[in-house]
Amino acid sequence: MNSDTVEGKWKQIKGEAKVQWGKLTDDDLDVAAGHKDKLSGKIQERYGKSKEEADREVDAFYSKY
């Protein structure tokens, strides 16, 4: 599934993202709204990960859908 599809189904898969990244708040996920770069940025913020590491996690998450 490409990022456009994820953005379109974000409300449905937001719960899965919350399970994977429990430190992200509902507000964080609402701001990200399925946008890969925003989600990656929030993961970097909350978990202190590098951009590359967060991008890899988001890519792996998106590949499930």
What pLDDT was estimated at residue 1? 52
4, pLDDT greater than 80:
no
What pLDDT was estimated at residue 2? 63
Average pLDDT over residues 14-34: 94
Q: What is the pTM of this model?
A: 0.86
Q: Any alpha helices (H) in the chain, and if so which ranges? A: 3-8, 10-20, 26-32, 36-47, 51-63
CATH number attached to the domain at 3-63: 1.10.1470.10
Between CA 63 and CA 2 the distance in angstroms is 8
50, pLDDT greater than 70:
yes
> Which has more confidence, 47 or 8?
47
What pLDDT was estimated at residue 59? 95
What pLDDT was estimated at residue 8? 79
Tell me the residue type at 30. D
